[in-house]
């Protein structure tokens, strides 16, 4: 009887792990299963922004501060 109970617990645990794994995959992670016990997760590499890309963003922000974007929006509203 103890064996059956243990199996039932194992099955419940397996379902929990499966659900957890699915949720983690949705968050954009690759998971690798190593045997039954001890899951090992492998995160996807996130590409860092280069200096040029960062400067481009800054330029856009400065233009917005000058009010060019606001003027453009107002023109569109008038039309």
Encode the chain (79 residues) as per-residue pLDDT tens digits.
Answer: 567 677 777 777 777 777 666 666 555 554 444 444 444 445 555 566 677 666 666 665 565 556 666 777 777 777 6
Same domain, 41 and 52: no
CB 39 within 8 A of CB 33: yes
Same domain, 16 and 52: no
Q: φ and ψ at 37, to 5 degrees?
A: -95, 155
Rg of the chain over all Cα atoms, to the nearest angstrom = 26
Same domain, 63 and 32: no
Parent domain of 72? 47-79
Measured from the Cβ of residue 39, the count of other Cβ atoms closer than 10 Å reads 14
Q: Count the domains in the chain.
A: 2
Same domain, 4 and 41: yes
Same domain, 41 and 54: no
Model pTM?
Answer: 0.23
Same domain, 20 and 51: no
Can you read off the two tokens belonging to residue 68? 């060019």
Same domain, 38 and 55: no
């Amino acid at each position: 009887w103890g064996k059956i109970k243990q199996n039932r617990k194992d099955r419940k645990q397996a379902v929990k792990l499966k659900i957890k794994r699915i949720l983690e995959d949705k968050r954009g992670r690759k998971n690798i299963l190593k045997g039954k016990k001890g899951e090992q997760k492998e995160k996807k590499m996130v590409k860092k922004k280069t200096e040029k890309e960062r400067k481009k963003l800054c330029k856009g922000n400065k233009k917005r501060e000058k009010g060019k974007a606001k003027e453009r929006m107002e023109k569109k509203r008038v039309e």
